[in-house]
Amino acid sequence: MSQANSHYTKQQSTFVQRFKKNYIGWLFIILSVLGIGLFYFYPMVQAFLLSLQSGMGSNLEYVGLDNYIRLFNDPTFITALTNTILYLLIQVPVMIVLALIFSVLLNDPTLKFRGFFRTAIFLPAVTSLVAYAVIFKYLFGSDGLVNEFLLNFNLISEPLNWLTDPFLAKITIIIAITWRWTGYNMIFYLSALQNVDKSMYEAARIDGASPVQQFFFITIPLLKPIILFTSIVSTIGTLQLFDEVMNITSGGPGNATMTISMYIYNLSFEYTPDFGYAATVSYVILILVVILSFIQFKLGGDRE
């Protein structure tokens, strides 16, 4: 009988210890769980419910899926969506490739002033979004330094309308966001490269592999998880592009550079406010993020 009591007491003690252990663990994460639920999931649910309505404030009216149907007949939305996808397809690959090249070059131990070059390339990522956008606006103005440089070297015969020509305005936006975020992605690749066993490159050199072959057959495969991560993060950032367009071109000329995020802003604060339709457009960004992230995971060969 005493053995049974002893066994029961031991089981009870184990249960109490497990309960205390789990309880303490929940205490550590409960605030984070509540914060994420309150500030992330609750607004997402509210935004979806808002997207089923039209108007603002007390004038909200339930319209069901009419807002989503309206998207397909909204030329401004289609223009904003097209511009955003264009930025994504051009800027993100260019930025990723440049970041990879810079990281490989700056990982060379024989390169002098590596610290200076690393800082110089990364520095744009920590500058103010508004400040650098305003600077780019002046640089690419009709009488800006870019036109002055091109004229001095006889590359153009007259100043280019970087900010008022639809095609050149898009190029200006792409240059601006590439300049800012290339160094940010470079740091991820550089950190990963410094953890790569140098003997792999030495063995490749002994086998006669050129630097280009080493880059494609050693560096790229080893950095594949980091490339996937930066591609997804860059995709999300580009889909939410707002500051550069707002401060450099204001979405012009004629909505030629408008993005989805800027259209959401206009629907909420510039045009006759329609928070319901603005919430609908914002859900387009969420849907695009999910779809494009899934595609990138599949192309990246991630099986998890």
Q: Are residues 186 and 73 in the same domain?
A: yes
> Would you place residue 1 in the very low, low, confident or very high pLDDT band (cuts 50, 70, 90)?
very low
For residue 139, the enclosing domain spans 69-299
pTM: 0.85
Per-residue pLDDT of 255-297, as tens digits, reads: 999 999 999 999 988 887 888 999 999 999 999 999 998 888 8
Distance between CA atoms of 260 and 255, rounded to whole angstroms? 11
Distance CA(127)–CA(206), nearest Å, equals: 43
Check which CATH number belongs to the domain holding 120 and give it. Answer: 1.10.3720.10
Calculate mean pLDDT across residues 64-75.
91
Answer yes or no: do 11 and 94 share one domain: no
In a domain, 131, yes or no: yes
| Spatial separation of the C-alpha atoms in residues 185 and 106, rounded to whole Å | 13
Tokens 């401060």 sit at which residue? 247
Tally the domains of the chain: 2
- Percent of the chain's residues with pLDDT above 70: 91
In this structure, the answer to whether residues 294 and 160 fall within a common structural domain is yes
Q: Are 172 and 206 a contacting pair, CB within 8 Å? A: no
Residue 61 within a domain: no
Q: Give yes or no: residues 28 and 73 share one domain.
A: no
Q: Which residues does 301 contact at the CB level (< 8 Å), separation at least 6?
A: 224
Residues 34 and 183 in one domain: no
pLDDT of residue 234: 93
pLDDT score of 71 more than 80: yes
> Is there a single domain that holds both residue 12 and residue 153?
no
Q: Give the tens place of pLDDT for each residue, 188-246.
A: 999 998 888 888 888 888 888 888 888 888 888 889 989 999 999 999 999 999 999 99
Non-local (6+) Cβ contacts of 227 within 8 A are 96, 100, 189, 220, 300
- The 10 Å CB-count burial string (b at 16+, else e) for 173-186 is bbbbbbbbbbbbbb
Question: Which letter does DSSP use for residue 223 in this model?
Answer: T
Same domain, 17 and 120: no
pLDDT tens across 121-140, in order? Answer: 999 999 888 899 999 999 99
Tell me which H or E stretch contains 54.
strand 53-54
Tell me, yes or no, whether 19 and 102 share the same domain.
no
Q: How far is CA 16 from the centre of its chain?
A: 46
Question: Residues 155-179: what's their mean pLDDT?
Answer: 93
* Same-domain pairing of 78 and 41: no
